[in-house]
Amino acid sequence: MSTPLRLGIAGLGTVGAGVVKIVQRKAELLTARTGRSVEIVAVSARNRDKDRGVRLKDYAWEDDPVALARRDDVDLFVELMGGSDGPAKAATEAAIAGGKDVVTANKAMLALHGQDLALAAEEAGVALRFEAAVAGGIPVVKALTEGLAGNEVQRVMGVMNGTCNYILTRMEHAGLPYEEVFEEANALGYLEADPTLDVGGIDAGHKLSLLSAIAFGTQVDFGSVELEGIERIEIADIEQARDMGFRIKLLGVAQMTGRGLEQRMAPCLVPADSPLGQLEGGTNMVVLEGDAVGQIVLRGAGAGEGPTASAVMSDVLDIARGIRVSTFGQPASSLEKPVPAKATAPAPFYLRMELQDKPGALAKVATVLGEAGVSIDRMRQYRHQRTTAPVLFVTHKCPREALDRALVAMGATGVVEGHPVAIRIEEV
Amino acid sequence: MSTPLRLGIAGLGTVGAGVVKIVQRKAELLTARTGRSVEIVAVSARNRDKDRGVRLKDYAWEDDPVALARRDDVDLFVELMGGSDGPAKAATEAAIAGGKDVVTANKAMLALHGQDLALAAEEAGVALRFEAAVAGGIPVVKALTEGLAGNEVQRVMGVMNGTCNYILTRMEHAGLPYEEVFEEANALGYLEADPTLDVGGIDAGHKLSLLSAIAFGTQVDFGSVELEGIERIEIADIEQARDMGFRIKLLGVAQMTGRGLEQRMAPCLVPADSPLGQLEGGTNMVVLEGDAVGQIVLRGAGAGEGPTASAVMSDVLDIARGIRVSTFGQPASSLEKPVPAKATAPAPFYLRMELQDKPGALAKVATVLGEAGVSIDRMRQYRHQRTTAPVLFVTHKCPREALDRALVAMGATGVVEGHPVAIRIEEV
């Protein structure tokens, strides 16, 4: 039996406490699996006195996570504080500089500083792993980095923010508007302190940028993720989409195209009978597409104590087993700087607008679409409500630019009230 | 850059040719990911002259796979011949004895000899890995062994024979009887030379026994897998199940109960709106349940050149990266001999019978069920067809023994024509 793997854990929130519980309660099982005992030697958090439902007094306490990261008796630094900069980054850098392996659940830190940190880890000869940063308990970082290592990855998609999926499915099932369900979710404690991180797609965008780096061998580039939140999704669109066999999801899509790397985190329509379309509530789903393997779908809890702690432990136990894989699947020094695609790949679109009750109104709109090169797959006009009638289009595949030209021209026709809603339909 | 990893590949069928293609066409990508070049040095197959669509003349040829396994210039022996014994086993043993790592896609060999082979590999200090043996391209062995290593696994379920799922979903959608769809599948080349391997559940049972060993830290015990094929599934049951919100799947279930290890591969009813219930055609799905992570669902192609070669490459590239994990997730010498559960866990059941047109017939059947301790959740009686009427029951959860007692007693009532159909409903 080799020497124990000694952990220093910084951050004792839900996930930190979950990790402590697993290490304490499953010592024998973990040792049987890895051939090495896993021990916690020191911990750090903001408030020493808080009751976290776990016994901590056997461990050294550090007020300063950087001091924890520097301790001589720590082999592996587990960063569970969160925050892209500040103490989390300082402590991670200190651990790496001190020759310690690092496991983190911090998507924001890696989305913004992943390349620098991975380079530093590489130079120091230590591991920097982050299974828990993406899609909670789903072992997707491992599946992509190791399971699909023989594939050229073609596309990565994912519903990776449970709160947004909860809001969208709750709107649909209860027939409630966004604002009302947002308040409900807030009252239930489902939202981050800054809710824009969730509903603005930022949190999910962070995760997408990490998967994208692994998938395409490129440096993490969160800055070029096209971000659109769910704040403007109306119940009318959810219902109309459903009627036409689609559901609306906050979907992340990353693909390498001839025009560069495309990364989008935005509401999309997906077929209601696809695995993504069937996803309810707070569950996460990631879809990986490789040239050899075809499509692999992974589904599970994207947050919460147990699932996230399970992912943290997956990295910890890999290290206990001696498994060492580069942070993004290949040496950070060999990752290329991606060229962001200037335009997104063509797609079909869903369009909803309010058409004024004037003769020839529909013809004008149809003409404008045709002139912009947007052809129509399906159309529905509903009965007039007061002075306007809701009209829906599903277009054939077209470039987003063509659609945007049509939308501008539509404004000039004088027959469309307000702004039309346009949502991409992702072919899954 | 370290020395190349030199492969010897035995078996050049669909999967073998797929592996050769990946190694040849992606040399640069694979080296970037693993830091080591992967080369094929020698191959072996039954027929040297067959055109396999890949260039083989740069590799040494061995007629005898055992000779291939013994070659000094082979570091990693890739066994893709199949067959539980014979050349595959002899060559695998020779490779291990010669200190070579082994990657295999051979579920039958591992289901029957996995413990012995894993022990031998352990003693020789070599790796023996088998991602491709279970659920094709889905990286489920890795997800379970490494991704869920921090969990106590509670249950593993899976639809792991694409042919059976194709037959069952095709019966449903086309409204055709089993025999007819079986012939179709045979004509399409979907069936093994011995179709019992597929439709009898043996192939899927092999896979289940391998996952079960990893999940519960027990020696592979295919012999105690309760096996039931799909040959007796009638279109009437598929349709009735659907009407009541269920679908019939050939489902593998492994769980550790207070009464021992339960392993079943048998037709089950699952809710139509569950991920398992939504699975169409030849796709595979594995559901992993752990105490921390909750439920993880993995879906993908279970067979075919690309997916299976992708899984083989996952193991090959792990070894190139220096990742070494015990065959079943912990040292083979520490795996316990499982105690097979004598009885399966209680479950609700679906019952269909033909009731004779006699006064009091339904009352008799209901009485018999009640006396056996089987309570009824739902019941439907249909209009009489000639002399009998179809009657369906969904029971509450009950022990299989109680149901069997009721079925025997039912035979004695004289009001039930032929044998009732009883199918377990799995709570997923």
pLDDT in tens, A314-359: 999 999 999 999 999 999 999 999 999 988 899 999 999 999 988 8
Which chain A residues are closer than 8 Å to B29 by Cβ? 152, 217
What is the structure's pLDDT at B386?
A: 81
Q: Do the domains at B5-133 and B140-301 have one common CATH topology?
A: no
Contact A299 B300 (CB under 8 A): no
- What percentage of chain A has pLDDT greater than the value 90? 94
Q: Tell which of B146, B153, B278, B286 to mutate to test the A interface (max A CBs under 10 Å).
A: B146
Of residues B290, B294, B300, nearest to A296 (C-beta): B300
Give the start-to-end residue ranges of the domains of chain A: 5-133, 140-302+329-334, 349-424
Interface contact B293-A301, CB threshold 8 A: yes
pLDDT for B181 beyond 80: yes
Contacts of A122 in chain B (CB under 8 A): none
CB contact under 8 Å between B32 and A152, yes or no, is: no
**Cα(B38)–Cα(B3) distance, rounded to whole angstroms?**
9
Asked whether the predicted pLDDT for residue A1 surpasses 60, the reply is: no
Alpha carbons A110 and A134: distance in angstroms, whole number: 11
Distance of alpha carbon B395 from alpha carbon B198, whole angstroms: 30
Report which DSSP code applies to B55: -
Distances A23 to A43, A88, B297 between C-alpha atoms, Å: 13, 22, 25
Among B131, B297, B300, the residue with its CB nearest the CB of A300 is B297
* Subunit contact B30:A149, Cβ cutoff 8 A: yes
Residues 6 or more apart whose CB falls under 8 angstroms from that of B190 comprise B162, B163, B166, B198, B282
Which one-letter amino acid corresponds to residue B376? I
Contacting residues of A for B138, CB less than 8 Å apart = 296
Closest A-chain CA to B24: A150
Cβ-Cβ contacts under 8 Å between A and B: the total is 192
Report the amino acid identity of residue A59: Y
State percent of chain A over pLDDT 70. 100
- What is the tens place of the pLDDT at every residue in B106-134? 999 999 999 999 999 999 999 999 999 99
Which residues of chain B are within 8 Å of residue A131 when distances are taken between CB atoms? 147
- Long-range interactions of B53-60: CB distance < 8 A, separation 24+: B53/B17, B54/B17, B54/B20, B54/B21, B54/B24, B55/B24, B56/B12, B56/B20
Q: In angstroms, what CA-CA distances link B64 with A176, B93, B94, B165, B377? A: 69, 14, 12, 36, 60
Catalytic one of A89, A100, A207, A249: A207
Stretch B331-359: mean pLDDT, rounded?
94
Using an 8 Å CB-CB cutoff, list chain A residues near B215: none
Q: Tell me whether residues A35 and B331 touch, CB distance under 8 A.
A: yes
Q: What is the pLDDT of residue B192?
A: 87
Q: Where does residue B331 rank: exposed (0-12), middle (13-18), buried (19+ CB within 10 A)?
A: middle
Please calculate the CA angle A333-A335-A337 and round it to the nearest 5 degrees.
115
pLDDT one-digit tens code per residue, B214-233: 999 999 999 999 999 999 99
Q: Which residue of B has its CA nearest to A303?
A: B293
Instruction: Name the token pair of A413.
Output: 């026709």
Dump pLDDT digits (tens) for A177-236: 999 999 999 999 899 889 999 999 999 999 999 999 999 999 999 999 999 999 999 999
> Topology of domain B349-424, per CATH?
Alpha-Beta Plaits (3.30.70)
Each residue of A271-294: pLDDT tens digit? 999 999 999 999 999 999 999 999
Contact residues on chain A for B152, CB-CB shorter than 8 A = 26, 29
Sign of the alpha-carbon torsion through B43, B46, B48, B49 = negative
pLDDT given for residue A404 in this prediction: 95
| Cβ contacts of A147 on chain B, cutoff 8 Å | 131, 139, 142-143, 311, 314
Which pLDDT belongs to residue B384? 80
Task: Identify which of A22, A35, A146 has the shortest CB distance to residue B150.
Answer: A22
Closest CA to A327 of A179, A194, A145, A174: A145
Q: Which residues of A touch B301 (CB under 8 A)?
A: 293-295
A207 is catalytic: yes
The full length of chain B comes to 428
Strand ranges across the sheet with A60-62: A60-62, A38-44, A5-10, A76-79, A101-104, A128-129
To which H or E segment does residue B268 belong? strand B260-271
Which is the catalytic residue, given B142, B207, B249, B364?
A: B207
Architecture of the domain delimited by A5-133: 3-Layer(aba) Sandwich (3.40)
Using the beta-carbon criterion (under 8 Å), do B330 and A32 form an inter-chain contact?
A: yes
Strand B76-79 relative to strand B5-10, pairing: parallel
Asked if A399 and A346 touch (Cβ cutoff 8 Å), the reply is yes
Contact B294 A137 (CB under 8 A): yes
- Please answer yes or no on whether B314 and A150 come within 8 Å at the CB atom: yes
Extract the tokens encoding A315: 């990295």
First to last CA, chain B: 48
Residue contact A300–B296, C-beta within 8 A: yes
**The pLDDT of residue B343:** 86
Residue of A nearest to B141 (CA): A147
> Rounded to a whole number, what is the distance in Å from the CA of B26 to chain A's nearest CA?
8
CB contact under 8 A, A318 and B146: yes
User: Is the per-residue pLDDT at B344 higher than 70?
Assistant: yes
Residue of A273, A274, A296, A327 to mutate, interface with B, max B Cβ within 10 Å: A296
Q: What are phi and psi of B283, to 5 degrees?
A: -70, 150
Q: Please state the rounded mean pLDDT for residues B260-270.
A: 97
Is B294 in Cβ contact with A307 (below 8 Å)? Answer: yes
**Interchain proximity B137–A321, CB inside 8 Å:** no
Average pLDDT over residues B231-245: 94
- φ and ψ of B68, to 5 deg: -60, -45
Smallest Cβ distance to A32: which of B296, B322, B334? B334
Question: How confident is the model over A24-62, as pLDDT tens digits?
Answer: 999 999 999 999 999 999 999 999 999 999 999 999 999
* pLDDT grade for A160, boundaries at 50, 70 and 90: very high
Residue B1 has pLDDT above 70, yes or no: no
In this complex, the residue of B137, B273, B312 whose CB is nearest that of residue A294 is: B137
- Calculate the average pLDDT of chain B: 96
Q: What's the whole-number mean pLDDT along residues B45-60?
A: 95
For the domain made up of B140-301, give the CATH fold. Answer: Dihydrodipicolinate Reductase; domain 2 (3.30.360)
pLDDT exceeds 90 at position B382: no
Q: Residue B357: is its pLDDT beyond 90? A: no
A5-10 and A38-44 strand pairing: parallel
Question: Lowest mean pLDDT: which of A71-75, A157-161, A362-366?
Answer: A362-366
pLDDT at res. A192: 87
- Calculate ∠ Cα B7-B9-B15, nearest 5°: 120
* Cβ-based contacts of B148 with chain A (< 8 Å): 139, 310, 314
| CATH T-level topology, domain A140-302+329-334 | Dihydrodipicolinate Reductase; domain 2 (3.30.360)
Q: How far is B285 from chain A (nearest CA, A)?
A: 9
